[in-house]
A and B are shown apart, each in its own frame.
Chain A
Amino acid sequence: MHKKILVTDDAAFMRVMLKGILIPEKYAVIEAVNGQEALEQYASHQPDLVFMDITMPVMDGITALKAIRAKFPNACLVMCTAMGQQNMVIEAIKAGAKDFIVKPFQAERVLECVKKFVH
């Protein structure tokens, strides 16, 4: 059975880009366009890993990270950040994020992250 990865980003392009990296590697990808939707998708699918953007409408990535970790303490989340958001990354790591990747992503870095956390 394919491992499930939840990709959360309000930018359609970023979701397409991550899907383009993950699907050929045989991961099942679920999508969410904001933190609130990620929370709902996480509860429904219990994915093996979540890529979570930070700046999003409705519910930002850090709020969603905290909400998911509060309900699912073993949840594995990796933050997707633009450069210049280092303070938010630190806050996210303190709140339980396992790692972060910086946009623009390189496929190798994304897959390295996945292989580190998804077995």
Chain B
Amino acid sequence: MGTTSVSVEYINPFVTASFAVMSMMFNEAPTKGALSALPDSFTSQQVNVVVGITGDISGMVILGMSLTTADRIASMMIGQPIKVFDYLASSAVAELGNMICGNGLLQISEGGHICDLTPPTVIRGTNVEISTLAVPAIVVPLKLSLGEVTVTVGLRGNK
């Protein structure tokens, strides 16, 4: 397990961004649950959107949710009910991750950090072990009427 702590300076922008983007996309502000810490390696949820951050700060941000929640979110974003979690649905939740991380990164850049995003990756399956490579992660559960989305932030400063 890594020993580096995760700075609040790196977490808050992604929580704020999640609130802003979800409120706009779903016409509903999420409710924040209790924060928890994870070791640098943990198992995935049913649907996970992984976005890498590189530059002055590096690591990853992961949106995790159940398949039911992912179905509901994708349906809401696409504007019609989806029957199966297909490529289009996957693209929709990936874009949600992209928008949240882009918004979060904008706030981080205002603190003088220059960073970039990697394209989002969608991972399905609950038995996948995800490692943030010696960076402990903080998990923020966000509750919506569509279901719960956990925002896992595992970032470290490189300066």
B is a partner of A = yes
Verify A104–B106 contact, CB threshold 8 A: no
Residue B88 at the A interface, CB < 8 A? yes
Contact of A16 among B88, B103, B108 (CB under 8 A): B88
A86 proximity list for chain B (CB < 8 A): 106, 109
Contact with A along B111-133 (1 / 0, CB 8 A): 00001010100000000000000
Verify A104–B94 contact, CB threshold 8 A: no
Verify A104–B119 contact, CB threshold 8 A: no
Residue A1 at the B interface, CB < 8 A? no
Contact with A along B76-117 (1 / 0, CB 8 A): 011100000001100110110011011111101100000101
Chain B residues touching A, majority SS: helix
B95 proximity list for chain A (CB < 8 A): 11, 13-14, 103
Contact with A along B23-50 (1 / 0, CB 8 A): 0110000000000000000000000000
B31 to chain A, nearest CB (A): 20
B104 proximity list for chain A (CB < 8 A): 84
Given known contacts A12-B91, A84-B102, A104 and B21 CB-to-CB distance under 8 angstroms: yes
Tell me the A40-85 residues at the B interface (CB within 8 Å): 55, 57, 82-85
User: For the complex, what is the distance from the CA of A94 to the CA of B21, rounded to whole Å?
Assistant: 28
Verify A82–B78 contact, CB threshold 8 A: no
> Whose C-beta in chain A lies nearest to the C-beta of B17?
A83
Contact of A84 among B77, B87, B109 (CB under 8 A): B109
User: For the complex, what is the distance from the CA of A20 to the CA of B21, rounded to whole Å?
Assistant: 20
User: For the complex, what is the distance from the CA of A82 to the CA of B106, rounded to whole Å?
Assistant: 9
Given known contacts A83-B106, A84-B103, A13 and B24 CB-to-CB distance under 8 angstroms: no
Interface residues in chain A, defined as those with a beta carbon under 8 Å from any beta carbon in chain B: 10-14, 16-17, 20, 55, 57, 82-86, 103-104, 106
User: For the complex, what is the distance from the CA of A11 to the CA of B95, rounded to whole Å?
Assistant: 7
Verify B77–A83 contact, CB threshold 8 A: no
User: For the complex, what is the distance from the CA of A84 to the CA of B106, rounded to whole Å?
Assistant: 4
B99 proximity list for chain A (CB < 8 A): 82-83, 103-104
User: For the complex, what is the distance from the CA of A20 to the CA of B99, rounded to whole Å?
Assistant: 19
Contact of B102 among A17, A82, A106 (CB under 8 A): A82
